[in-house]
Structure 1
Amino acid sequence: MNIQPFKYIYFLGIGGIGMSALARWFNINGFAVAGYDRTATALTNTLEEEGISVHFDDDIARIPADFLKDTAQTLVVFTPAIPADHSEYNYLKQHGFILQKRSQVLGLIAGGMFTIGVAGTHGKTTTSSMTAHILRHSGINCAAFLGGITQNYGTNMLLNEPTGELKNVPCVVEADEFDRSFLTLFPEIAIVTSTDADHLDIYGTHDSVLASFSAYVSQIKPQGRLFMRKGLQLAEKTQAKVFEYSIDEGDYHAENVRIENACFLFDAVHPNGIIKDLTLKVPGFHNVENAIAAIAVGLEIGLSDDQIRAAIASFGGVKRRFEYYLKTDTKVLIDDYAHHPAEVKAFLSSAKALYPDRHVTAIFQPHLFSRTRDFADEFAESLSLADRVILLDIYPARELPIEGVSSDLIFQKITCDKVQCLKSELIDVLKQQTCDVVTTIGAGDIDRYILPIKDVLQTT
């Protein structure tokens, strides 16, 4: 199936960040778009301002008449959050309309463009955002569907300029392994940043995770390219030409990495030469490595050294990825989305490198009972890189509690100075500490406490 036969695109749950991105893409590329959502939000307001019809009551009569005339011309995109008894959902299903999930439709869009898929258990959001920024900053007409809000553009997507022919227009897609949704993609170029054990509540075993990534790279077009972090075991699973990258070795790697004025400077070595004196404002050794992968794609697309150097220097990062909220001579506050032990280790290693002579407090909120159970020892080891850890209770997200699983599994094995508390107690606990560099870490709702933490730091 492809998107060409469709004229009308109807969304059930149009207001979500991912769904609204698809709606905007279809609208800008000449499709008639409408949709339902439960409540009005800033995102639905933006959609309406762009000419998309949105309604907020479950009423079949509110679906535009043209969308109901011909089932072959209307594609329905739905979110699994739509309840089973939803009137519009059941009407469209019973009357033979084609219903697709967001990941399936994203695959359809990407399948009609030149797809650059960025996958990995960690690093994919920053790497895909860097890749999209390098292309857009260099004047390439491209689209992008990302997993985070970019600082440069204030959105999780980039819209391509409308054109009659899309097959050569690059589309950068963050290829999500969570529910195997990246298996809807058949990219021309792919990056794989990591294949660590994660989402074991979904996959069960690390072997299942690896099998899913193997299936993903097998779908790269035979004439395509795979840029794979050195050490991953994926080369035999694809017909594409494979290149390895890392921060310090591989076909693409960094040299002369140093820190100046809280920026990372480095040279990018590639098979045909070297790009010297790149400046990356987004801190972190892991982000230098992410940049190497994005640079590899830029070179493959045909960009010049000067285009890449300028794009890297202007990359502003992604919300909740090493994001500064306070930066003075006496107080620093950094927020990061890290929720896997490898991510926590990479983040804290970079923070300690940036501030080698200062005291680092890590406030960590574990994400998921299952992930805490599966990686308690690894979390404790990574967190112990800090000088002090304030450990919060587990953010459950989609899970119910698991008997015997709490943040105490991590707390008992942390080897640095440590405090354990409920998030409701965090601000009072923080007031009792002498703080210098403070980091908030986690994928739950810890970001809601950033501004109160900032107030404490500025008044103590």
Structure 2
Amino acid sequence: MSNRAQELNAELGKVHLMGVGGVGVSAVARLMLDYGLRVSGSDAKDLPVLDDLRARGARISVGYDPANLGDADTVVVSSIIKPGNAEYDEAVARGLKILHRSQGLEATMRGHEMIVAVAGTHGKTTTTSLTAHMLKTIGAAPSFAVGANIASLGTNAELGTGEYFVAEADESDASFLNYRPDVIIVTNVEADHLDHYGTAEAVHQAFVDFASLLPEDGLLICCADDPGANELARTMRLKRPDLRVQTYGFAEHADRRLSDAHVRDGGRFAATIEWGSGQEHVLNLAVPGAHNLLNAAAALSVGINAGMDVDEALEALGSFSGAARRFEFKGEASGVRVYDDYAHHPTEVSAALKAGRAVAGNGKLHVLFQPHLFSRTREFYRQFAQELSLADSVTLLEIYPAREAPIPGVTSELIAQRVEVPAHVFAPEQAVAHVAGQAEAGDIVMTVGAGDVTYLGPQILDALA
């Protein structure tokens, strides 16, 4: 057992994780198992990830019961675990150490020489995945924790032997303030999660507070194309002149400038990237969309600042095949290709549909969209309608409530009524039949949203076949 593993074992003892089937908590469980800790966990549903954790030595239970705690010393909880959960209440009654998922992840980060945290309203999962993939492909053996499974890495979290730890930093409940990064990437800063923050100003302040966690001579990498991230870079240059602040993007003032974005033969997406005096290279990706060129430019900036060979880093980025639920190809039937995307904010929907348009070529784009959260729908229904109008047809499911109670008058019809192309709201079974009936050979179908719409892609393929 390494020194850090011994320290972690002494600090946490036996660890029980509640909500362990979630992608964030399962990542913490995998890392703790890699450290050699004794791990148990529970979740409300029997999910495929639980079998993987069992195979790696964790004691896993389905359903919440105080008995599941066993002789645990520390409990790690996801954001959805609240007082009133019998297992959680038992942990409180027994005086066990209780950590939020982010605090559990932070414990596994400590001891690494270079902690890279990737934050942003959108794009952080793919950017984290690209960075981890790049570092692993060139042999840097990073540790990483990502909010999705990465096909090229075979997992969403791993304890590597190298000095880097790359982590997705979730801003939704300000829990990213629990981390202590050496490098921060900020892809964008927009108003979202207003159920937690209340105002757009509070969201922006949270990112300022996050960037302020960087140590002296820490590195802040911001997207120059996004007004919020660009403003963060400007603010931190004034507030913390001891920091290194760099920008990337298509904007003229970006430190690493992208230009000439285009689709290559074979469906690859490419752009020129240049910096300094005379440094010019081609960024050539297998994943579609200008937004992914930006994400890759952010990852490349980490490699450049670490002194890695640029050509090796570019080649590694070019081999990245994508993260789960990020324009993920689900299959093809009757000449119709079906993709799934996690987009659940208007900006994300816009990026996803633009990528779909590029891939569709002369074919039509049919979108099955499920709004996520009543509060987000109330805030952005006009913008959702505007971005969904990029499609040729739009089918909507009712709002996925997640953690929220319904808000009177807030339904998917608010969006459907304002979409500028044919749009209808259906129950899932009818939605599948409707979408399959619309699509013809050469078209693209996209299931879009952060809820259970992801399970309808295979059903659409069956209906098409």
- Does TM, scored on the shorter chain, surpass 0.5? yes
C-alpha displacement at 1:418, in angstroms? 2.7
Give the distance between the partners of 2:145 and 2:382, measured in 1 at CA: 34
Q: Cα 1:351–1:36, aligned 2, differ >3 Å: closer, same or farther?
A: closer
Amino acid at match of 1:116: V
Q: Cα 1:158–1:12, aligned 2, differ >3 Å: closer, same or farther?
A: closer
C-alpha displacement at 1:96, in angstroms? 4.3
Kindly provide the CA deviation profile for residues 123-160 of structure 1, in whole angstroms up to 9, marking residues without a partner as x: 00000110111111111121111111111123211221
Give the distance between the partners of 1:342 and 1:61, measured in 2 at CA: 41
Q: Cα 1:400–1:304, aligned 2, differ >3 Å: closer, same or farther?
A: same
Match of 2:3 in 1: none
CA contact 2:18–2:75 (8 Å) conserved in 1 = no
CA contact 2:142–2:165 (8 Å) conserved in 1 = yes
Number of paired residues?
442
Give the distance between the partners of 1:392 and 1:82, measured in 2 at CA: 26
CA contact 1:115–1:189 (8 Å) conserved in 2 = yes
Q: Cα 1:272–1:173, aligned 2, differ >3 Å: closer, same or farther?
A: farther
Match of 2:122 in 1: 122
Kindly provide the CA deviation profile for residues 167-214 of structure 1, in whole angstroms up to 9, marking residues without a partner as x: x72111100001111000121100001111111122111111111111
- Aligned runs of 1:205-354 on 2, under 5 Å? 205-230=199-224, 231=227, 232-235=230-233, 236-237=235-236, 239=240, 240-249=243-252, 250-260=254-264, 261-271=266-276, 273-274=278-279, 276-327=281-332, 330-354=335-359
- Stretches of structure 2 lacking an aligned partner (at least 5 in a row): 1-6
Give the distance between the partners of 1:85 and 1:375, measured in 2 at CA: 32
Match of 2:76 in 1: 77
Give 2:367's match in structure 1, choosing from 362, 367, 387: 362
Match of 2:165 in 1: 171
- Aligned runs of 1:139-178 on 2, under 5 Å? 139-161=139-161, 169-178=163-172
Amino acid at match of 2:164: P
Within the alignment, does 1:392 sit opposite 2:397 as a pair? yes
- SS of equivalent residue, structure 1 residue 147: strand
C-alpha displacement at 1:75, in angstroms? 3.7
C-alpha displacement at 1:222, in angstroms? 1.9
- SS of equivalent residue, structure 1 residue 140: coil
Match of 1:106 in 2: 105
Q: TM-score, normalised by structure 2?
A: 0.87
Q: Cα 1:244–1:10, aligned 2, differ >3 Å: closer, same or farther?
A: same
CA contact 1:143–1:160 (8 Å) conserved in 2 = yes
Q: Cα 1:256–1:214, aligned 2, differ >3 Å: closer, same or farther?
A: same
- SS of equivalent residue, structure 1 residue 146: strand
C-alpha displacement at 1:374, in angstroms? 0.5
C-alpha displacement at 1:445, in angstroms? 0.9
Give the distance between the partners of 1:222 and 1:86, measured in 2 at CA: 42
CA contact 1:15–1:41 (8 Å) conserved in 2 = no
Give the distance between the partners of 2:13 and 2:170, measured in 1 at CA: 27
Mean CA deviation greater in 102-111 or 214-223: 102-111
Within the alignment, does 1:421 sit opposite 2:459 as a pair? no
Amino acid at match of 1:181: S
- Aligned runs of 1:366-377 on 2, under 5 Å? 366-377=371-382
Match of 1:453 in 2: 460
Amino acid at match of 1:126: T
Give 1:430's match in structure 2, choosing from 435, 438, 453: 435
CA contact 2:369–2:397 (8 Å) conserved in 1 = yes
Amino acid at match of 2:456: Y
Kindly provide the CA deviation profile for residues 381-426 of structure 1, in whole angstroms up to 9, marking residues without a partner as x: 1111112222222111111111111111111211123333232311
Q: Cα 1:367–1:80, aligned 2, differ >3 Å: closer, same or farther?
A: closer
CA contact 2:32–2:39 (8 Å) conserved in 1 = no
- SS of equivalent residue, structure 2 residue 432: helix
Q: Cα 1:61–1:53, aligned 2, differ >3 Å: closer, same or farther?
A: closer
Mean CA deviation greater in 37-46 or 382-391: 37-46
Q: TM-score, normalised by structure 1?
A: 0.88
Q: Cα 1:433–1:171, aligned 2, differ >3 Å: closer, same or farther?
A: same
Kindly provide the CA deviation profile for residues 100-143 of structure 1, in whole angstroms up to 9, marking residues without a partner as x: 12111222332432210000000000001101111111111211
Match of 1:182 in 2: 176
- SS of equivalent residue, structure 1 residue 342: helix
Give the distance between the partners of 1:80 and 1:244, measured in 2 at CA: 32
CA contact 1:119–1:174 (8 Å) conserved in 2 = yes
Match of 1:135 in 2: 135
- SS of equivalent residue, structure 2 residue 147: coil
Amino acid at match of 1:254: L
CA contact 2:33–2:39 (8 Å) conserved in 1 = no
Match of 1:165 in 2: none
CA contact 1:6–1:75 (8 Å) conserved in 2 = no
C-alpha displacement at 1:63, in angstroms? 2.8
Amino acid at match of 2:305: E
Q: Cα 1:274–1:332, aligned 2, differ >3 Å: closer, same or farther?
A: farther
Give the distance between the partners of 2:424 and 2:24, measured in 1 at CA: 37
Mean CA deviation greater in 336-345 or 86-95: 86-95
Mean CA deviation greater in 198-207 or 274-283: 274-283
Give the distance between the partners of 1:26 and 1:11, measured in 2 at CA: 11
Mean CA deviation greater in 213-222 or 91-100: 91-100
Mean CA deviation greater in 87-96 or 183-192: 87-96
Give the distance between the partners of 1:180 and 1:298, measured in 2 at CA: 27
C-alpha displacement at 1:431, in angstroms? 4.5
C-alpha displacement at 1:350, in angstroms? 2.2
- Aligned runs of 1:16-95 on 2, under 5 Å? 16=21, 17-30=23-36, 32-37=37-42, 42-54=48-60, 58=65, 63-64=70-71, 74-79=73-78, 84=83, 89=88, 92-95=91-94
CA contact 1:267–1:274 (8 Å) conserved in 2 = no
Give the distance between the partners of 1:282 and 1:405, measured in 2 at CA: 35
Give the distance between the partners of 2:29 and 2:315, measured in 1 at CA: 32
Match of 2:4 in 1: none
Amino acid at match of 2:451: G
